[in-house]
Amino acid sequence: MMLDTPKMTRPVIRQLDEAAINRIAAGEVVERPASAVKELVENALDAGARRITVDYAEGGKTLIRVTDDGCGMTGDDLPLALSRHATSKIDGSDLLNIRSFGFRGEALPSLGAVGRLSLTSRAEGHEAVSLAVEGGRMGALRPAALSRGTVVELRDLFFATPARLKFMRSDRAEMGAIADVVRRLALAEPHVGFTLRDVTGGGEGRVVFRAEPENGDFFDALHGRLARVIGTDFTDNALRIDLDREGLRLVGYAALPTYSRGSSVAQFLFVNGRPVLDKQLFGALRAAYMDVLSRDRHPAAVLNIQCDPERVDVNVHPAKAEVRFREPALVRGLIVSGLRLALSGAGHRASSTVATETLEAFRPEPAPAPRIYQMDRPSQPVLSRAYAAQAPAPLPDFGFAEAPSARVEAVAPPAPDLTERPLGAARAQLHENYIIAQTARGMVIVDQHAAHERLVYERLKAQAAETGIAAQALLIPEIVDLSEPDAARLLDMTEDLAGLGLVIEPFGGGAIAVRETPALLGKIDAAALIRDILDDLADLGRSDRLKGRIDAVLSRMACHGSVRSGRQMRAEEMNALLREMEATPMSGQCNHGRPTYVELRLADIEKLFGRR
């Protein structure tokens, strides 16, 4: 028996109208109010603005207004600016040589398609003009009053596509996203002033963020801007980064490992000044700190990769948040090796926030004074008798030679040359674990086990790098079945893996044979390790999984081979430990990122006792 099947109707190809095209483009470019703010502020920066003000109401849903003092536009420019793919930033002949934030010519027409958009602008030597567009319908050009620059006002975002409003988050969440966008752009352009205001309810509104233009060269300006955006704690504990390699330059600031955070909120990456959220770059940043941070801590850094625009493609993501480098391995290597070199150069240094937290722990919490009612107040005669009863007894009138002597234990003063050293001279050991050292400007408290653990770990890593990782041959090779693309990707890393003690070879089709494994790891599940490495390659383009596991074993060996808590140390042993810390890179933190010592300045100690 034959069943009748419905006859398939041939779909009709239609040309979408301009309004629909703009709304589709808006869905890619403008995801939320913060996306609109990003596009408009980047346009202002491209126009050469030195001061930019962003006003918003109700999380940007009802109003976004961006005012700048840039070059402005003429009456002939405004209709073009609201047309799709009309831009002054490229001529279309070379899509790789892009030196501006914007270049597609999509932002303004997309915003005009989904909201009520108005532009008011004045170019030097021309009169101010204004043009409005609502739901994709452009109005007439009108004269306006404006001294210079441009004002872009967007009202009722997504009124033309109300379904998008259902996907908006709370006003507070949208406000936070807008503030994050403005702060990132403020870090990208430290010589430009930024003001962010919440004008919900009308009036002048409330200033949420303000950063005045910074002076000086790039590093001075960025340092001042970082202090305002992230805080002085970061700038006090950040290392200046300035590295060149094969035409690539890495500049910015990276914090010490002991100034780590519980999340990645203090990570800001830029490519030629453009803020990016590229997972491969963040992966490289994480790898640079892999040896000095535990898995639940995140580094803090503000880094800008500068290169020829033709070596990076910024046109691979609708919001330009991700980029694609022509030489990704070179970029990753620059970040990883550059940051590790800077951290090694910092030597034993630890963040100043450790000392601040220590001092705060020393300060007792002030107890509230008990209430005293009038009936409970003692009379003046009662107070006088009480004071007299508590007065100390008068001392006998001894002469100088007759004064009773007090027995004082002689303590050998530390050698002057040792107290001038960064970690000072050892003076005592407390609880068989903490070394107290005297420095020229204060004191240092060292965790002897954590410090020695880092020293032994660095020694073991140096030995492994010098002699290589010993491999252990398997009696029966382990065969791992993979897809052919995965096998090819893994076999491309054969030499790198062999250097870490993992020897593999093709076994026909998509299978590979694991011949040798790192001896340090003992008996391992080679198939699971191979698949973990492939997951990293698929996600980040590179895998440090095997090296991480080897380093973890070296770290455990260092822990067991270091000075244990509870061991009494002689003065010469303690001083030898301090000297080795001063000479060992990254000895300011243990293998897990915790500080190995705390430095307290004498001035701060005196404040604890009210002496200053």
Take residue 89 and report the two structure tokens written for it. Answer: 């930033």
The DSSP bridge partners found for residue 303 are 252, 269
Rounded Cα gap, residues 502 and 510, in angstroms: 18
Q: Would you state the pLDDT for residue 406? A: 37
HEC letters along 387-401: HHHHCCCCCCCCCCC
- For the CA atoms of 426, 427, 433, 434, the dihedral, rounded to the nearest 10 degrees, stands at -90
Residue 300: φ, ψ to 5°: -115, 130
pLDDT band at 268 (very low <50, low <70, confident <90, very high): very high
Q: Name the one residue in this structure whose structure tokens are 């032994």.
A: 456
Cβ proximity of 268 and 301 under 8 Å: yes
Cβ proximity of 194 and 185 under 8 Å: yes
Give pLDDT tens digits for 117-138: 899 999 998 999 999 988 778 8
pLDDT band at 251 (very low <50, low <70, confident <90, very high): very high
CA geometry: angle at 49 spanning 223 and 133, to 5°? Answer: 135
Residue from 323, 328, 213 nearest 272 by CA = 323
| Alpha-carbon distance values, 556 to 58, 88, 514 (Å) | 53, 59, 26
Q: How far is CA 117 from the centre of its chain?
A: 35
Give pLDDT tens digits for 503-522: 888 888 888 898 888 887 77
Please report the domains of the chain, with CATH numbers, ordered by start residue. Answer: 18-210 (3.30.565.10), 218-345 (3.30.230.10), 347-362+414-612 (3.30.1370.100)
Rounded Cα gap, residues 197 and 378, in angstroms: 56
What mean pLDDT is predicted for residues 136-143? 85
Cβ proximity of 424 and 444 under 8 Å: yes
Instruction: Name the DSSP class of 595.
Output: B
| Alpha-carbon distance values, 153 to 97, 112, 123 (Å) | 31, 10, 18
Residue from 208, 215, 220 nearest 193 by CA = 215
Cβ proximity of 250 and 284 under 8 Å: no
pLDDT at 212 over 90: yes
Residue 36: φ, ψ to 5°: -65, -40
Rounded Cα gap, residues 403 and 398, in angstroms: 6
- The average confidence (pLDDT) of the chain is 79
Q: Name the one residue in this structure whose structure tokens are 């210079």.
A: 148
Q: How many CB atoms lie within 10 A of CB 446?
A: 26
Cβ proximity of 112 and 155 under 8 Å: no
Cβ proximity of 118 and 144 under 8 Å: no
What mean pLDDT is predicted for residues 415-427? 82
Run of H or E residues at 556: helix 545-561
Lowest mean pLDDT among 260-274, 307-321, 358-372: 358-372
Cβ proximity of 325 and 281 under 8 Å: no
Instruction: Name the DSSP class of 261.
Output: B
Q: Would you state the pLDDT for residue 352? A: 58
Select the highest-mean-pLDDT range: 45-54, 397-406, 583-592.
45-54
- For the CA atoms of 600, 603, 605, 608, the dihedral, rounded to the nearest 10 degrees, stands at -140
| Alpha-carbon distance values, 165 to 25, 505, 561 (Å) | 17, 55, 60
Give pLDDT tens digits for 225-235: 999 999 888 99
Task: Please tell me whether the overall predicted TM-score, pTM, comes out greater than 0.85 for this model.
Answer: no
Q: Name the one residue in this structure whose structure tokens are 């008990």.
A: 370
Rounded Cα gap, residues 314 and 100, in angstroms: 10
